[in-house]
Structure 1
Amino acid sequence: MHGDACASFPDGHCWMRRRVCMWVKKIVLLMSVLSCAAGVQAQGTYPSRPIRLVVPFAAGGPTDAVARIIGEEIGRSLGQPVIVENKAGASGAIGQDYVSKSAPDGYTLAMITGTSSNNYHLMRRTLDFYKDFSMVGRIYNTYTVLAINPQAPGMGGIVDLSQLVAYIKAHPGELNYTSSGTGSLGHLTMEKIKLHHGLQIEHVPYKGQALATQDVLAGRVPILSGTFTMLPLIAAGKLRPIAMGTEKPSSLLPNVGTFAEQGIPGLISAVWIGVAAPPATPQVIVERLGNELRTALDKPEVSRKVVAAVGNQPEYLNGPDFAAFATRDFEYWGRVIRDAGIKGE
């Protein structure tokens, strides 16, 4: 730019050329200084107004409950209210898309979940956790549990995955299972088991785990692929856990083997939930939000509230680790969706 400005003058006007070059350099330097100063000032005073935390589901669910718990705590620490805003629709994609396209200033955040992210595959859309979001941090995982109604026909003697697989193979096409809906992690997990073992069993989707559980307890469907929210029914003996999606054995179900332990290597089935900001949000703001999230989750009273809301302990991951984790998970379930030929409703 400087060279072009100077070269536009004839040789007889060298003095003018030098003066223009000097002023161009001063203006560029001044703009650079002002830009840096504005950035530092904006980040130094952040936040100066309320922050919106968008939940991509309706109010009253587990994601909404956790958003309100951490929003209250982080807002208290930051000195500005964190306002939870529900933007439901398209299995979570509407809310996530809204935040992804919002101003990258740290004042609009999203509760981002593995369930809503996996639905991008069903909509034949791409999702890049490095380009579409600035990942703030993971809050927790809630794991899949495969359970049966022990009172259902043929289920009484089944206590592990190998026995359930053997029974399904002995009755091809005669059984069905249920989950909280098409594309839910419970659905995808059972489809992975079907692919691995070559099983013939039909999926009966419901709109939510509560409705699915009702029909399992009523004996209309013998098998439920859901989450740890079924633990009270397991404790009451109404459901029997067969396998779970944790990476390691869990103290919540100490006598139940993981899917990997029971013959399906690499099958870790967890619905993760975390916080994300729009792409290009200043790193200093993202890191501050991540630190605030970690500090909140480290508090025993906050941890207890999260456990009471969703039945799981917080499992914080920082932004970069969260992005890597979410990307691996997204790619894994994308392969399952393609291999099983699952289509969105």
Structure 2
Amino acid sequence: MKFLLTTTTATSLLAATMGAAMDQEAPVNAVVTIGMIGDVVKNVGGDCVDVTAIMGPGVDPHLFEATASDVRTMQGADVIFYSGYSLEGQLGDVLERFGRQKPTVAVAPASVDPGDLITTQDVYGIDPHIWMDAQLWSQIAPTIEETLAEIRPDCADRIGANAEAYQQELLALHDWAAASIGSIPEAQRTLVTAHDAFAYYGRAYGIEVAAIQGISTESEASVADIRATADAVVEAGVPALFVETTINPRTVQSVIDAVRAQGHEVEIGGELFSDAMDEDGTPASTYIGMIFENTAKITQALGGEVADVPDALSGWADEWNAAEIIDR
């Protein structure tokens, strides 16, 4: 409710912000919490926006605490976009305070139908990892479009065209991921990861998901968690487990050791991007690349075949050499 109220307060501040922004030819200064939002803002805003992400590659948003420098960055923003649903839980008070000063938009609650959300039995209530479903994540584009266009009405037509084109790319990405994961033999279609960030991915693309830890990463997995996951891997005959870029890999290695102690061979299928994207200048520094790389690794490690890249993604594929990603 606090996030929703912040968004509502931010909307009421748009008119005040518009005047100042329109007097400047400089791009809108948009500050975002996570890179997955930042890449959507870049694609929708184009040259009408400059984007700064508070949390960079390898940063776990569940544990993130803002520094004085981060607060100064947000103070200088024309607009702040954050995910919501407690993903940035430790930033909640900071975001609420900025929501009384400038447009501060929780993109997930503002964009995604509540009926499409995955509920949880923990303190989160709602699983915040919505970007793991490209179709759902595409729904934040109109929210970002509307916000930026109200701040910079002179850019509204360009922003609208960008948003529509980018949404079509994400829908094509969604279909491609479903086709790739669907090629994995059904008996091997189980994704085992360090923490529970892939529930939306599993639901969207038809793969069972087993996580060693829950949604939060504040506490480490217990011996019982490791033993239970190892038993599930052996029972299902899963050939590969996956580590995550924001999580210490030792928990996954503990499961592998427990699995091998039962006489079942399993390997690490690769490193997945869950709560953060990759370093700038790499394919997975883009949201499309993040989902593309994850899907290629999962598909190949579990015995499937990566689908052909659709025409709608040809621009991204040419820029980032998608064929090389698949061949790694």
More strand by share: 1
Q: Normalising by the residue count of structure 1, what TM-score does the alignment of the two structures yield?
A: 0.30
More helix by share: 2
Q: Which has the larger radius of gyration?
A: 1
Q: Normalising by the residue count of structure 2, what TM-score does the alignment of the two structures yield?
A: 0.31
